[in-house]
Amino acid sequence: MKKIKKEDKAADAMLQLVEAVKENTVLLHSLFKKQEQLISVAPAPVISEVATTLSSETIIPVPLEYRHVVDAGLNKSFGIEIEPLFDRPSFTLVIVTPEKYSNLSEEYKKLYKRDLRPKILNYADGINGVRQWAEQVFNSFNQDIRSMIVADRVQGH
């Protein structure tokens, strides 16, 4: 029986490694080609009516679960806007209060034109963070406004 040297084993292992890398490279190139083909024939995305515009070019859709949480905690007439924060794993959730429920001062209304209730949430907070913020916004109103919000929620507004 012939004795195999350590150098031969190492060279053999190196050749096998080089072959495996070549095969994986070819496979990756073919996957990228297929991905490019799929992207080129993919239909344009449909933007839902619950999307919000950050600028004239950037549209961030509001997750449907967030919309349901705000509808359940407040009602369907409250708006939602999401603004991602690019310097950390967070986003600003803005609840837009309809004019009929707004309890802000006239000075604030003249300056900002809308009643916005922003809150920075971590992505990890997810739906629970949205629920807690909707509850805090609800609790920020006086009893009369809360009664109106609940009555409109029950009626489906």
pLDDT tens-digit readout, 30-63? 766 766 666 655 555 444 444 444 443 455 788 9
- Amino acid identity of residue 36, one-letter, is E
Cα gap 85→77, rounded to integer Å: 26
pLDDT tens-digit readout, 71-106? 999 999 999 999 998 899 999 999 999 999 998 888
